[in-house]
Amino acid sequence: MNNRPVPDADFRLRDVALTAYGPTVVNSVGHGAVLPVLALHARDLGADVPTAALVVALLGVGSLLTALPVGALVARIGERRALVLAGVVDAAAMTAAALTTTWLGLAAAVTVSGMAWTTFMMARQGYMIDVVPLAHRARAMSALGGSHRIGILVGPLLGAGLIHLTDLRAAFVLSAATALAAALLARLMPDLGSDSRARARETGHLSVRAVIVAHRRVLATVGVAVVVISASRALRQAVFPLWADHVGMSASTTSLVFAVAAAVDVAFFLPGGWLMDTRGRTVVAVPVVASAALACLLLPLATATWSVTAVMVLMAAGNGLGSGIVMTLGADTAPVEGRAQYLGAWRLCGDLGVSGGPLLVSAAAALVPLATASVAIGVLMLAGSAWVGHWTARLEAGRLRG
């Protein structure tokens, strides 16, 4: 495991706040504006309910297709260049999403955006591993997840206002602008890995396959737990907007409900990071999945705006407590040599969940009513929470012994 400490006894998160968290906050504002209305935009462009859920799932599919190649890319060009590239590509994709007149065009743009987003998040994680001491790791990763949540909180509020003044396409224009702004902020960060990349160019970079084979046991156990965690989180982006549409909520109201849930997310990320550093990773990993399971089981009972909001808040509380858990587990298990390639495989595990959650919703909604699909998914998530608890507890025991 990569447990080498950063030699800075006086480390403070605010010392790296601008370069570590600034690009994430800005970029997440755009994503926050788009996520509540993505399925609705697909519906406006002619997609039916299962197809709209599929369009949402393509964010995860784009990430899924890119995770392993991005690991190799970051190993070669470094985190800073990868962040700038991701911002530019995401801006182009969101501009296309705003201009397209077909759901197929939207689907293509969303897929490219997912590719850019996974590049962005992997590069951020690698940078944080370099600059943060081990004793502060979970709090730093939780704050990184929290900075994403701040953007997700602000984004729907801005999106709701813009949608009210214009139409749904305004959310995608906002996302394009914030992606470009994030790319500009990323240029301020130092290029920390230039020396190691130069040595790797001389000796040869480790292949992604070799790194995966060397760490296959961790990826097949804790990595599967990450799949479950990520799937539980992705459910909110797919099932809740569709349920809101089903019960007659408007697009602007749906955005506001997402904003309320995002505020709860933000409120919980600091205590979650402290708990991970002081009480272990398991105490926050399990509530992420368990709260999603309970929310899905309760969703068919939510037939008014207040009850839909209550179910969203329940899920957001567990999700906020586990802010940064996937990145923290990845940092805990990442090797020193071949780290970027390993994080690509780790990201793949997360992306399998991110894409699998909405795909599961899409498949279930095509076969049974949405309420029935929600209950079935809730039962699956309850089983998944047991797997997450078992393997994160075993990892935590091994980390403490090491």
Confidence of residue 2 (pLDDT cuts 50, 70, 90): very low
Q: Residue 8 above 60 pLDDT?
A: no
Maximum mean pLDDT: which of 130-144, 159-173, 192-206:
159-173
What does each C-alpha distance from 285 to 92, 207, 208, 233, 392 come to in angstroms? 35, 30, 27, 12, 8
Instruction: Determine the length of the chain.
Output: 402
pLDDT of amino acid 297: 93
**Measuring CA to CA, which residue among 24, 322, 19 is closest to residue 148?**
24
Q: How many C-beta neighbours within 10 Å does residue 10 have?
A: 5
396: CB partners within 8 A, 6+ apart: 280, 281, 282
pLDDT band at 1 (very low <50, low <70, confident <90, very high): very low
pLDDT (0 to 100) of residue 84: 92
Cβ of 253: how many Cβ atoms within 10 Å?
A: 16
Between CA 54 and CA 42 the distance in angstroms is: 10
Most trustworthy range by pLDDT among 131-140, 240-249, 283-292, 316-325: 283-292
∠259-264-265 over CA atoms, to 5°?
A: 90
Query: Do the Cβ atoms of 336 and 4 come closer than 8 Å?
Result: yes
What region, left, alpha or beta, does residue 280 occupy, with left being phi > 0 and alpha being psi -120 to 50 degrees?
Answer: left
Element (H, E) at 38: helix 17-44
Catalogue all structural domains in the chain, each as residue range(s) with its CATH number: 13-401 (1.20.1250.20)
Average pLDDT, stretch 72-88?
88
- Quick: pLDDT tens for 306-343: 998 999 999 888 888 888 899 899 888 888 788 888 98
pLDDT single digits (tens) 264-299: 888 888 888 888 888 888 999 999 999 999 999 999
Of 21-25, 26-30, 398-402, where does mean pLDDT reach its minimum?
398-402
Q: For residue 199, what pLDDT is reported?
A: 66
CA distances from 42 to 35, 66, 182, 347, 390 (A): 12, 23, 26, 27, 39
Structure tokens at 151: 């953007």
